[in-house]
Amino acid sequence: MSASSRRDPLAFIADEVEELKAQHLYRPLRVMSDAQGPVTVVDGREVISLSSNDYLGLTHHPRLRDAALAAVAEYGVGSGAVRTIAGTMTEHEALEAELAAFKGVEAVLTFQSGFTANTGVIPTITGEADLIVSDALNHASIIDGMRLSKAPRKIFPHRDVAALRAILRDATTQGRPDGSGPYRLILVVTDGVFSMDGDIAPLPEIVEAAEEVGAAVYVDDAHASGVLGRNGRGSVDHFGLHGRVDIQVGTLSKAVGVLGGYVAGSQALRDILVQRARPFLFSTSHPPADAAACREAIRVMDDEPWRIERLWASTRRFKAELARLGFDTGRSETPITPIIVGESELANRFSGRLFEEGVFATSVIFPTVALDQARLRTIVTAALSDEHLDRALDAFARVGRELRIISA
Ligand code: PMP
């Protein structure tokens, strides 16, 4: 058969792409040709960026850059192997010890990303004899981690501690569904800060509910690290829950400004993850320069507390102004500020018009959020000046009125 007469077995994929475009659910990739920062160049246009997770402005911090360059000079650019074979370098081990001290826990293990941390940890520590209880709006990587686990799971409505308590009560009184006795482990999993709405998990109440039945608590602090707690130590520190949350996952890719994920907990947890967590065992470790830059980031977070103060001051001002203009910013309590418009077509148009006005605020559409909950998701980072904020708010007011999202 000639190549030209061959039927393309993947033809349905192009149809799917066309279908997404027709439904306004297709996301074009915007390309940055400058460093991440308060002002950057996207698709050739200079824009004020409200779209990154670079909360503290560390992606381009000179101290992190210098630390990475020094590590490249000393160790080269790649680690060359998975951690358990020949890919564990002094930079990895030092980063983990420093993160453990920062978080106030016994031990930390790093992963290549927050995503692989969740998909690595959850199936490693849970199995058929266990139960996972998860908030309905937990991150996709937690959902995938649960899918990879043999443990049954139950979902509680978002932040609904009464519903969580009911699930925990049933689970402890009834035990395993096959009648073989009590669960070995009940693991309650929640995001610390929810990534699309910016609301905070009711962690003290969750911890209390878990303690009542002897369940363990697992918090994904991707959006709380660098944002909540003393100098950004996260939601456990924010709520004064040290020693009462068994597992904390964090990312090195957002406020820390680099790339990676980590798990903070006991030494035994670290030990078993080294032996069994599949992304750790089967995927190459971080380049040493990434680990060196992360180490410097932790020092900068403690040396420059003005960054987190600035993050929160700008956030308060931005939220207050958006509310005054009449935008729906949902239930956010953190620097993640959604501007909810409903239809994905309108969210895309809103984002597109803001872009033309020099403001980069990406739309977030299904399946990242529910179909009727399309939004712009913004974060005003510590690196943005008051003048940037004023210019961004002017554009929001102008375009919001033009598209009748707010009244004139
Ligand atoms: N957990 C949550 C709650 C997140 O928002 C994200 C990032 N979108 C991740 C995990 C994954 O982190 P990373 O980008 O480091 O893979």
Domain chopping of the chain, boundaries: 25-55+305-402, 62-303
Residue 404 Cα to ligand 1 midpoint, Å, equals 33
Residue 38 Cα to ligand 1 midpoint, Å, equals 21
Q: Which atom of ligand 1 is nearest to the CA of 195?
A: 5
Q: What's the pLDDT score for residue 1?
A: 66
Averaged pLDDT, groups of 10, the chain, 408 residues long = 85 96 89 95 97 97 98 97 96 98 98 98 98 97 98 98 98 95 98 96 98 98 97 97 98 98 98 98 97 98 97 98 96 96 95 97 92 95 97 98 93
Take atom 13 of ligand 1 and give the residue whose Cα is closest. Answer: 114
Query: What are the φ and ψ backbone dihedral angles of 110, each rounded to 5 degrees?
Result: -95, 155
Residue 175 Cα to ligand 1 midpoint, Å, equals 32
Q: What's the pLDDT score for residue 27?
A: 86
Q: What's the pLDDT score for residue 403?
A: 97
CA 357/CA 402 separation, integer angstroms: 12
**24 catalytic per annotation:** no
Q: Which of 190, 195, 225 to mutate to test the pocket of ligand 1 (most atoms within 8 A of CB)?
A: 195
Q: Which residues line ligand 1 (CB under 6 A)?
A: 113-115, 118, 139, 141, 191, 195, 220, 222-223, 251, 253, 261
Q: What's the pLDDT score for residue 76?
A: 97
Strand partners, 39: 48
CA 216/CA 184 separation, integer angstroms: 11
Take atom 15 of ligand 1 and give the residue whose Cα is closest. Answer: 114
Q: What's the pLDDT score for residue 337?
A: 97
**254 catalytic per annotation:** yes
CATH code, 62-303? 3.40.640.10
**Spatial contact of 380 and 335, defined as CB atoms under 8 Å apart:** yes
Q: Which of 247, 253, 283, 334 to mutate to test the pocket of ligand 1 (most atoms within 8 A of CB)?
A: 253
In this structure, the strands spanning 374-379 and 336-342 are antiparallel
The owner of tokens 């560390």 is 58
What's the chain's Rg over C-alpha atoms?
A: 22
Q: What's the pLDDT score for residue 339?
A: 97
From the candidates 51, 52, 79, 195, give the one annotated as an active-site residue: 195
CB atoms within 10 A of CB 158: 17
CATH code, 25-55+305-402? 3.90.1150.10
Q: Is the peptide bond before 204 cis (omega within 30 degrees of 0)?
A: no
Question: CA-CA distances (angstroms) from residue 169 to 201, 214, 234, 263, 265?
Answer: 20, 11, 29, 28, 26
Q: Which atom of ligand 1 is nearest to the CA of 191?
A: 3
pTM of the model as a whole:
0.95
Residue 242 Cα to ligand 1 midpoint, Å, equals 22
**238 catalytic per annotation:** no
Q: What's the pLDDT score for residue 24?
A: 85
